[in-house]
Amino acid sequence: MKTRYLVPGDYMADPAVHVFDGKLYIYPSHDRESGIPENDNGDHFDMNDYHVFSLEDVETGEVTDHGVALRVEDIPWAGRQLWDCDVAHKDGKYYMYFPLKDRNDIFRIGVAVADRPEGPFVPQPDPIRGSYSIDPAVLEEGGKYYMYFGGIWGGQLQRYRSNKALEAAAFPADGEAAICPKVVRLSDDMLGFAEEPRDLIILDPNGRPLTQGDTERRFFEASWMHKRGGKYYYSYSTGDTHNICYATGDSPYGPFTYQGVILPPVLGWTTHHAIVEYKGKWYLFHHDCVPSGGKTWLRSLKVVELEYSEDGTILQVPAG
């Protein structure tokens, strides 16, 4: 199929996508004209609500907008910037995990709960204890749920080591092991962490951790996890070099071995995605800034079919 724009009348980005009740549900960020100048901390991405979308035919079907599911003003501990979210389903309830800056301008991860996949979602009174940074993505495996999270620069991951805040942000030297994304198992009630977050290690084909200076391959933000053929596929954005890459492993915790690029750079500063199987086909949901004429803070939601080779490697998707 050709790449398809899904919500031409509005600006949506950073999609999380899942199959619930036989439909595809899309949980994107909602871009807007904030009037805030661009900077490396992403202050101009000042999103203040989430919409939920669904569709039953990826290639030609109508996209249903279920309206606003959660607003910044609904969240008791809110500061600003409602960035990329994800949703998980357990025992008839739907749990939305969202990053939001608190009143001290520190990103935390919150939880909101709904009875339906389209919401509305009711937020918990406080963020998850011990949470930090951005871009939560949740995998269900054998009745357990694992969250993957983190993002550097504006995502603030460089401000932490061993789950503790540093006095000042710190980056490894180019030849040292890169800052790692995080993985943590969720508690049985889905409202907290069941353990301390762990580093998710990405290795090169020789078994060495990717280095901070390896900007074409190392992690920056936008975690996503899916499973196919008994393998776990961890995919992510390299951020300032604008690739969507992936690595594979045999456990939800890893380690993961780098495999290649899924999507080369598109028009726009950020790149963020979701991968999902639906009706026997695999799809890559992502965004670019073509409809807005290249305004990096006004991104548009896209989908294209994703294909695998016989050995399980992902075939690279053209950027257009």
Give per-residue pLDDT as tens, 9-23: 999 999 999 999 999
Give the burial string for 177-198 (b: 16+ CB within 10 Å, else e): bbbbbbbbbbeeebebbeeebe
Q: Are residues 10 and 26 in contact, defined by beta-carbon separation less than 8 angstroms?
A: no
Percent of the chain at pLDDT exceeding 70: 100
Tell me the C-alpha distance between 264 and 13, whole Å. 17
Please report the pLDDT score of residue 318 as a whole number: 87
pLDDT tops 90 at residue 1 = no
- Taking alpha carbons only, the member of 307, 260, 306, 267 closest to residue 287 is 267
- Give the residues across from 245 on adjacent strands: 236, 261
pLDDT digits (tens, 9 = 90+) for 124-181: 999 999 999 999 999 999 999 999 999 999 999 999 999 999 999 999 999 999 999 9
Given 31, 118, 135, 221, the catalytic residue: 221
Please report the pLDDT score of residue 153 as a whole number: 96
Q: Catalytic site residue 14?
A: yes
Query: For residue 315, how many other CB atoms are within 10 A of its CB?
Result: 10
Mean pLDDT of 80-98: 98
Q: Which CATH superfamily is domain 4-306 in?
A: Glycosyl hydrolase domain; family 43 (2.115.10.20)
pLDDT tops 90 at residue 223 = yes
Given 10, 14, 105, 310, the catalytic residue: 14
pLDDT tops 80 at residue 319 = no
Please report the pLDDT score of residue 2 as a whole number: 85
Q: Catalytic site residue 140?
A: no
Mean pLDDT of 206-234: 98
- Taking alpha carbons only, the member of 61, 89, 85, 64 closest to residue 75 is 85
Residue corresponding to tokens 């800056």:
101
Q: Are residues 182 and 199 in contact, defined by beta-carbon separation less than 8 angstroms?
A: yes
Mean pLDDT of 197-221: 98
pLDDT digits (tens, 9 = 90+) for 227-276: 999 999 999 999 999 999 999 999 999 999 999 999 999 999 999 999 99
| Segments making up each domain of the chain, as ranges | 4-306
- Give the residues across from 287 on adjacent strands: 301
pTM above 0.75, yes or no: yes
pLDDT digits (tens, 9 = 90+) for 29-65: 999 999 999 998 999 999 999 999 999 999 999 999 9
